Structure 1
């Protein structure tokens, strides 16, 4: 029995207002008057098992009803207690039939109360708006911007994250043995988008697939709406009519193909439809006949085909290996039928292939039944043999079921002595009298126990309401505190960023002012002395003659980069660290000064840097002067070395002459 039921009835249409009465463990309580949107919020907060109405279109149009059902929490049913449209009965007649007392018929709260009580007794039709299918989309959570080297790396990273999330969901569904179809868009060694069509209800996926929002990857779980709202009885089942036994081939996918043949190999139906819902597939097959075998053209069978076979309790047929296109076309030529598309061809070929596998056994059964004169029941007997009965058991089962039962004829005796029967009747009357007294005593005891139970249930109901209210309040406070903590953290981070940007802005303005006055020279900043950084700099602000470059990390650079800078006729290089020898020597040869942070003071904000013009000029002049002095010293040393070598050679010559003389 449901724990909580809300009865709802309309008070006025313009503005739309509703009366709400709750039924909780046998206790009725008037909840008050609600607008449409307040009613939705109230229902979501209370999470009832059933929302009961006498007419769901009091909510509005089909769109309003659909919006209301979407807003319901998982597990909450919308019920129309008066029955499906066209077959509706009077609310008050239903109340009298179910022993419900009626007060003021014109009071909306009275109607809401009756709706809740009828729903508690299982009266009414549940409104079903969604298929037992769910679309799960795995997509990017953010726009990727306009490109660039870093942007390309970010895009590849996101596509890799999408691929991992798709694999994770796929693995979860396989472990849970839930059938599904998957479509992906591959990109950059990853996936740019993935879409699952899962053949299960939202309730089955609860806790298995968690929606995600706000990051690099988003997971969206969307139920599939039915084409039309359907009404399903709260209790009881529909009568099953006798249907023809058939073999059904199914080709699943975005476009579903269905092919049906009977047990004589004749084509019964062929159909295909794009985005066909699972419930529509079941309805189509049920309308055509009773499936004994569900067949597919590939092995192993797809998940949806297995689910259909389990639902109909039919045998599953798969070929020993996937059917080739040539074989499918040959099967259809043997049938002498043309189809509209490949999906119909694949489904019908699968069904006919299953029939051909059984054909020898079915022909043998036909021959036996003709000999026994049971050809009229051959369809049912064939179905039983396919389901696992042997031929004798199947024949017995069918013939015994059809044989009319003979009622035994009572034997009539000419003279009967009724004395023993009269005494037995008197004895039974005394027993009945004693049992009636005992029954009255037990009824009184039951009435007393019911009073105790009702009193205890009222206490439990009051306690449950208090506990429910306390839990909801604590959850709201907890969520609020978490939200406040999160916002305070974001505020602190934002204040820190604002303070840094303010300082940078002031410094940038000062630097720009110095540059405009001509007292400062801008520097072109390179994070590292590599070809990638040079290409980035050339794309944003190309190097030109007399530019000054500021290098943060020159490690690893070679002579080819130095020659490139020389060709650009730059004026000087300022480096935060010592330049590699190859680069330093190449620049020194071309008289391009190399300065360090000890030589000049660099003022920098992110990608923008300047240096004092006068200070730079002095540092350049000093460096060039040092290099000139070093060059002079080098030349003097070379000259002295040459003179020394000449002296040594001359002494050798003089010694040689002296020895000869």
Structure 2
């Protein structure tokens, strides 16, 4: 396992990835633990060869557009990198900066017109943790084991040749499965069966490509290919998770405003809100970076701002006197802000930044290249000496004198040590005071929590009882609504039956009267009309029915009337269908009368016909019916006689032909 950090830095010397005639040539700088090992010019093909052979930890570029024209080519490039090699864009991820700005944070200067200088700078800042790693694959990989050559058409030994290839694919798949099982990785396996073994084995491994203990392989019969699952779009992950130091200005009050600057004075965050409390301010600042200095625009720092400062262990800054409005306007000129609260917070941050810029410029002159300037400035602001900071950042323990020689240490070193102890003592006292305040707040919060929990239980119990009562009431309301609906339906049915009973009673009373014959009114001579009349007043044996419309009549309704054994049917008379209808009623034996001969009078669903008119009409129809029956019987007998005579004549003719000349 490699102990030293290996970095490749590249930059285009000539050509372009977008050109087909002039392919790119790169300036390559190889770095081992901040020491340049070699420099040279390579092509894309030679670069991949070197990456495969040396497998560096980082490949640093100032822009991924120098190695790929689009996302598809970038996926192909990343697929070809060794699994442990990270592609780092040193100028940032989604929000890019110039290489000069990135190098300036480490106090590095270079000739931006020299490709080797840019490659050298990219490698150095990547080794120091600058930039963002290019992420193109998910934590999922595919391992495909397949045939390296086609079986072809073959000859006499074709089957043995195919079995050999497919058996080799199956054997290689089992070896890979054993390796995956031994490492404990979760995977899914899919085999494509073929003659003598498998033609293809696919492993879906739920791990990143670098964690899969399988490498690409090409043999005589079998090939193994490993690839990562592509993301929908390229993502960037900062190479260093350390947040940036900030100088923060806070304006508390009903509307709280915060402004955050980096150590170079660039605005990073500006926000104000009426709903922002102390926890909201701390969360917003935590997302933006790491507050190093927290400033206020008044001489005495407000209590709320002081508590926020203690939460981050930041250095406090307050002006010698309250900042006047004219100074605030002059400081914030050229910066966008929405209200006076944001202006006050921004002016406090800018005032603190201006006060520290002189010290920062002196530090830049004294700090050698290759050091994180933000970290150096942060430690110096917190009270450390520059020499001590540089030594600690180099991770080299300072040379200390033996214990017996400690009293003879130089006075300057002892003075610095005493200052350091004094600063730390003061910090410890402030932290203890802050811890006591926090503990008091915790006790108050715990008491409030217990009180609210008791109130919540009471409210919960009352709410539970109320919900149970509401559920029971809703259930009873549903039952009552259902019963009311059923009652209304029964009431409607009762009214319908009462009307029907009333009509039947009226019909019965009219039937008792000897002067007129009651008549039941049928709206249409159809089965549906007859069904409605049956459901309304009923149709019984001996009833006389008056039909208002005869259109659409059929033999089925005539049969139904015959089965009901009605006494007679009265029609309005006339119409083209009277002859056929009369024949049908003759066949059924139901008297068919007209309203003119019966003098029927209809009112609603009932009617009356004088008995002295309807009786003779029925009698006349019955006489005609008797004549009709006699004629029908006579016609039937005559027809039978004719048929018999015809059959007899045929038999006589046949008999005469067979017995010609005989008596």
Larger radius of gyration: 2
Q: TM-score, normalised by structure 2?
A: 0.33
